[in-house]
Amino acid sequence: MSNKIHKSISIIAKIVLAIAFAISATLVILSASGYQIELTKGGIVQTAMIVVKALPKQAVLSINGKIYEPDNLWRVPSLPAGNYTIEVSKPNYNIWTKSVYVDAGQTALYEDVILFLLKPIETAVENNSEKSKFINDLNNQKTDSALIVTNNEILLEGSLVTRFSKPIYNAKIFPDDAHITFISDNQFHIIDIDGSNDIALFDLKNDAKYLFVGSGQSVLCLEGDKLRQVRIR
């Protein structure tokens, strides 16, 4: 093979590699910017993204039935605009779910997902001095002025969160400011702050008092003179 032909092949190879690199770089940039090439639509279309952050760690994310590796933070880009059912699950925990329509160019962000135990764990408060302190705290706690319960409805700062068919008692904002707890029909409930994912976690009398321990890991409950501590996370 002559040097001239060899040089020509080398130049062509370099040009092909340069073109391939340019195309690859362009696709990466388009994807990072929320676009993708859609051959069936004959051009470049803008895409959507879903971002989920959850506790506890090593939960599993499912989007429209597609399972993602166990983690606690997922960024799912390059999604076509449309309806999505998002689920976060882990054995021995209640499933968190959300149905959402994500438009092109939008990011559906859920960064306050907490999974709560399917079977909360109740423990006794044995220490008498600690027990006296807890009871004092329960009897002297302040109410959440931002929350109003009226006619079986929960309102947050004047806006309706949700309504129920049965009376609601002792509503509180959870320590993460992303959930609301309350008692209804002698059960302790927790919901997302938008009113979704209502879960009845354990039995608790409607007139009971309660407060949170360890950033919401557990709930201290006072039913008459009976003090209970229930781990919910």
Model pLDDT for residues 108-156, shown as the tens digit of each residue: 999 999 999 999 999 888 777 778 888 888 888 888 889 999 889 999 9
pLDDT, mean of residues 164-184: 95
- Pairing of β 107-114 and β 48-55: parallel
pLDDT of the residue at 39: 47
- Residue labelled with tokens 């770089």: 25
Phi, psi torsion values for 96, nearest 5 degrees? -100, 135
Classify residue 73 as exposed, middle or buried by CB count within 10 Å of its CB (0-12, 13-18, 19+): exposed
Which tokens sit at 70?
């166990």
Q: Is the pTM of this model over 0.95?
A: no
Is the pLDDT score of 44 beyond 80? no
Q: Which of 139, 93, 137 is nearest to 119 (CA)?
A: 93
Q: What angle do CA 89, 91, 96 make, to 5 degrees?
A: 25
pLDDT-based confidence at 73, cuts 50/70/90? very high
pLDDT band at 18 (very low <50, low <70, confident <90, very high): low
Of the pLDDT bands very low, low, confident and very high (cuts 50, 70, 90), residue 30 is very low
Report the chain's C-alpha Rg in angstroms. 27
